[in-house]
Structure 1
Amino acid sequence: MRSRITIIFGALFVNQVLGEYGMAHFSDKGVKDGKDYCIFFNSQWARLPQDLHKASRLQIHDLTASVLCSPSEVPVEGFANRIPMVLRGNCTFYEKVRLAQINGARGLLIVSKDRLIPPAGNKTQYEEIDIPVALLSYTDMLDISKTFGKGREVAMYAPNEPVLDYNMVIIFVMAVGTVAIGGYWAGSRDIKKRYMKHKRDDGVEKQDEETVDVTPIMICVFVVTCCTMLVLLYLFYDYLVYLIIIIFCLASSIGLYSCLWPFVRRIPVGKCRIPENNLPYCHKRPQVRMLVLFAFCVAVSVTWGVFRNEDQWAWVLQDALGIAFCLYMLKTIRLPTFKACTLLLVVLFVYDVFFVFITPLFTKSGESIMVELPMVLKVPRLNSSPLALCDRPFSLLGFGDILVPGLLVAYCHRFDILMQSSRIYFLACTIGYGIGLLITFVALALMQMGQPALLYLVPCTLLTSLVVALWRRELPMFWTGCGFVKEAPQPALVKAPILCTQNPDPPTEGPSANHKPHASEPTYQCEDPTPPPEKALKEEATQSE
């Protein structure tokens, strides 16, 4: 299905002009091999064949020094069986293509320095013209002039674009894997902290990052801040985008360090500490391997920041840094109750839908502001269609589409550990996230436009967790996050029958009535088995390593 763009004329009247992406295959005369360039055309002038082999290969008449708006600009010999390439401006598309057609042209390429728009006309003009007219970018025209000689030829065609690209599989694996690993890591780290607190040994934990419990006020402040930032980006994008890039580089460096340190600290090399000094952040004499790892993480982030526009390989660094950033945030930020999870997901659900579906109506490019930010996972299209050069050559998934549901998955894992429920909440919520992502891909294929992923991810994850809690009859505890709130003295989650591990009180009658327990005999004691035993805590803490 080909991409289409709607152009709005005036404030009272709306006229839809259908523009379609096609390809212009340039080559030197007599040479079959060449290079494809993106063009934008209106099939109401004339349609293009879908196959390159069925397209006519015609010679280009380079008239890029002219705009072809008057007969005086037409060469004496005309354009017999050729395709003139002219600049855009000074007159309508109809005037240009009419001059080209009456002088024998077989098509028209209009070079545009601005963004490509559909070459529009009216019904009468469409009926009069029977040659194709298409727009070519000025950058591509410069590349064509450098690559091919004066006798270059062109064949214009418009292949069908595949509904779904194979890169969706890569994005699916990265997103679901990040959510699953981040949620599991966050829950295991939480139980490790409980075990260390139980052992009254905080020495190791003091070296680790502290968690941040999210409150409703923090959620409201976060959403308001995000909305403000996006509005400011719309107004001052050319300046603030560099601030966003710097913030992402710093945050991703910390995230990459946090993810790699558990592996590096197992390496028996570089344990020696640096000499005593007064340098910032080094006065505690960190290990040499810590400094080497920190320098490596900063170098990776800076490399991406400098070469972020290199489409061939920079996306790999961006995805690696993005995944590390998401894992770090999932490990650090903690939602203490399912109530907080619901509030956060619902608010960001509305936020995502608004900025994806509504803001394009107010932007000059007709695209959502969030598409232009670096806070996304991106994978280049892997299909063989040359249309991958047009439109947007990458498939994108925002970090928020991973982080927001991931916080719920992490909450489910912590609740599983406290309830000793064999991670049923964690698995169910992770599967719900995967199903929601698949629904997002299907909606993307059917609607052929960017989709707010949270529109599908939020219902799938929230409803799945809610159904599991109802099925297990644990909704009150799951909703209030019993055991997660700091102010609570960690009460028992489930009131279980008392287990008596010693002999009961002596009888008051019978042969044993006069028997008195010896000093060495144990007295009556009972235990509540609900809190996780030390052995289970130790096992979970060991797994989190």
Structure 2
Amino acid sequence: ETMKQSDAAMFPIMGSASLFGLYCAFKFFDKDTVNLIISVYFCLVGCAALTATFSPVLASLGPKALGSTWVSKHVLIKHPLPESIGGASPWDIGVDCNVADILAFLASVAFSLMYFQTKHWTMNNVLGICFCLQGIERFSLGTYKIGAILLVGLFFYDIFWVFGTDVMVTVAKSLDGPIKILFPRSLVPHAESGRLEMSLLGLGDIVIPGFFLALLLRFDAHNANLPYFPTNIHASFPKPYFHSALIGYVIGLGVTLYVMIAFEAAQPALLYLVPACLGSSLLCALARGELKEL
């Protein structure tokens, strides 16, 4: 699905509404109950994300039959309908999947159940990474302008909710779900709580720049005159815009970690990532004389 300019402009507003809604839920309802509901939701969605991520891996690494053996079954569901819609025809559901899909789904269900029981930080990170990969794969930015609008809007969104209020930090610390990547500060558990002390990086700080980097990668492919279809994922071509923005992202993330450690306070990562990604791509365009094309 391609994001439009209106979608990009509304994204920070919708994100703010969702964030504040979660804050109110933790503020006025039982924290454990809210986390239970959210955990069930993420486990269900996680099954889909894990399956979509690992099925291609199994198909490519496993025996050839995993990716080429297909199961197709059409099921007619016969169920009594209310009289008001009794004339409606039965549903015809077609299911197409290969062996890798089935194996990945079964493994994903087992993984999600284990995560639900243990909430281990490594399993949290696996789910979070799968969410990021699927988000970047399934959504795209239509133009560079749309990407810039999205990044600038979320730049101010991040600053306001982190520095202006305690909402972002409260939700991030209260929500026990794979909405963040966790990094243990030490391998020795805390003396009082018995838990590892964690630093975190929100998935939004990965996915949003990821949308932008994916756009630049497509622009590089366009400049290299690669055919849109059929797509060759193994094609080699120059990637100046992608590499420049990726370097900018790494530098911005490094600055974020440095400032966070130096000031011992939560930092809005997009405060540093947005200028780094936008600035590096614009500098690359200026250096190549392709600012108008970008």
Pick from 223, 238, 243 the counterpart of residue 427 of structure 1: 243
Question: What displacement does 1:376 show?
Answer: 0.2
Cα shift at 1:459: 0.7
> Kindly tell me: are residues 228 and 435 of structure 1, through their superposed partners in 2, closer, same or farther at Cα, counting changes over 3 Å?
same
Q: Cα gap change, 1:246/1:392 in structure 2, threshold over 3 Å: closer, same or farther?
A: same
Note closer, same or farther for the CA distance 1:344–1:397 as it changes in structure 2 (3 Å cut). same
Distance 2:101 2:45 in 1: 17
For 2:118, the aligned partner's letter is F
Q: How does 1:457-468 map to 2 (within 5 A)?
A: 457-468=273-284
CA 1:391–1:300 in structure 2 vs 1: closer, same or farther (change >3 Å)? closer
Residue 138 of structure 2 is aligned to residue 327 of structure 1? no
In the alignment, which of 92, 104, 113 is matched to residue 302 of structure 1? 113
Q: Which residue does 2:64 correspond to in 1?
A: 268
Q: Distance in 2 between matches of 1:454 and 1:298?
A: 33
- Contact kept, 8 Å, 1:359 with 1:368, in 2: the verdict is no
Question: Is residue 370 of structure 1 aligned with residue 172 of structure 2?
Answer: yes
**Could you tell me how far 1:215 is from its partner in structure 2?**
1.0
Amino acid at match of 2:95: K
Offset at residue 391 of structure 1 (A): 10
- 2:11 alignment partner, SS class: helix
Deviation at 1:396, TM superposition (A): 0.4
1:13-50, CA deviations, whole angstroms, 9 ceiling, x for partnerless residues?
xxxxxxxxxxxxxxxxxxxxxxxxxxxxxxxxxxxxxx
TM-score w.r.t. length of structure 1: 0.44
Gaps of 5+ in 1: 1-211, 309-313, 479-545
* Deviation string, structure 1 residues 488-536 (Cα, Å, up to 9, x no partner): xxxxxxxxxxxxxxxxxxxxxxxxxxxxxxxxxxxxxxxxxxxxxxxxx
User: How far off is 1:392 after superposition?
Assistant: 7.5
2:7 pairs with 1:218: yes
CA offsets, 1:448-485, max 9 Å, x none?
0111111111111110001101111111111xxxxxxx
Structure 2 residue aligned with 1:485: none
Distance in 2 (alpha carbons) for counterparts of 1:261 and 1:457: 32
Question: Identity over the aligned pairs, expressed in percent?
Answer: 30
- Letter of the structure 1 residue corresponding to residue 121 of structure 2: W
> Would you say the 8 A contact 2:51–2:104 is kept in 1?
yes
TM-score (normalizing by structure 2)? 0.78
Paired residues of 2:186 and 2:196 also in contact (CA < 8 A): no
The whole-number CA distance in structure 2 between the counterparts of 1:291 and 1:397 is 32
Shift of 1:224: 2.2
Alignment of 1:402 with 2:198, yes or no, is no
Q: Which residue of 2 aligns with 1:256?
A: 50
Runs of 4+ in 1 over 4 A off after TM superposition: 279-282, 383-392
Give the letter aligned to residue 203 of structure 2: F
Equivalent position of 1:447 in the other structure: 263
Deviation (angstroms), 1:296: 1.7
- Where 1:450 maps in the other structure, the secondary structure is coil
Residues 253 and 269, structure 2, Cα contact 8 Å, conserved in 1: yes
Q: 1:332 to 1:387 in 2, by over 3 A?
A: same
Output the amino acid matched with 1:215. K
Quick check: 1:343 aligned with 2:153? no
- Measured after TM superposition, the shift of residue 243 of structure 1 is 4.1
SS of equivalent to 1:476: coil
How far 1:428 moved relative to its partner?
0.7
Instruction: Note closer, same or farther for the CA distance 1:252–1:221 as it changes in structure 2 (3 Å cut).
Output: farther
Q: State how far apart, in whole Å, the 1-side matches of 2:65 and 2:195 are.
A: 49
Higher relative contact order (CA 8 A, sep 6+): 2
CA contact (8 A) 2:11 2:150 kept: no
- CA deviation after TM superposition for structure 1 residue 390, in Å: 8.7
Instruction: Name the structure 2 match of 1:232.
Output: 21
Partners in 1 of 2:221 and 2:50 — Cα distance? 27
| Alignment match, 2:287 | 471
Q: 1:379 and 2:177 equivalent?
A: no
Structure 1 Cα separation of the partners of residues 272 and 258 of structure 2: 11
Q: Deviations over 1:261-299 (max 9, x none)?
A: 222223334525266544799633533442232122132
Instruction: Determine the C-alpha separation between the residues in 1 that align with 2:274 and 2:285.
Output: 17
Give the match's secondary structure for 2:49: helix
Q: Structure 1 347/247 Cα, relative in aligned 2: closer, same or farther at 3 Å?
A: farther
Residues 273-284 of structure 1 mapped to structure 2, 5 A cutoff: 273=71, 277-278=75-76, 283-284=94-95
CA contact (8 A) 1:277 1:285 kept: no
Cα distance in 1 for partners of 2:186, 2:92 equals: 45
Change in 2 beyond 3 A, CA 1:344/1:297: same
Cα separation, partners in 2 of 1:317 and 1:220, compared to 1, 3 Å: same
Deviation at 1:442, TM superposition (A): 0.8
Closer, same or farther: CA 388–415 of 1 in aligned 2, 3 Å? farther
Q: CA deviation at 1:437?
A: 0.7
The reply on whether 1:244 has 2:48 as its aligned counterpart is no
Instruction: Report the 3-state secondary structure (helix = DSSP H, G, I; strand = E; otherwise coil) of the residue aligned with 1:369.
Output: helix
| Paired residues of 2:158 and 2:268 also in contact (CA < 8 A) | yes
C-alpha RMSD of the superposition? 2.7
The number of aligned residues is: 258
Gaps of 5+ in 2: 78-90, 225-236
Deviation for aligned residue 1:214? 0.5
CA contact (8 A) 1:256 1:297 kept: yes
Asked whether the 8 Å contact 2:3–2:139 carries over to 1, the reply is yes
Larger helix fraction of residues: 2
Q: Residue 386 of structure 1: CA displacement?
A: 5.6
How many angstroms apart in 2 are the aligned matches of 1:289 and 1:383?
36
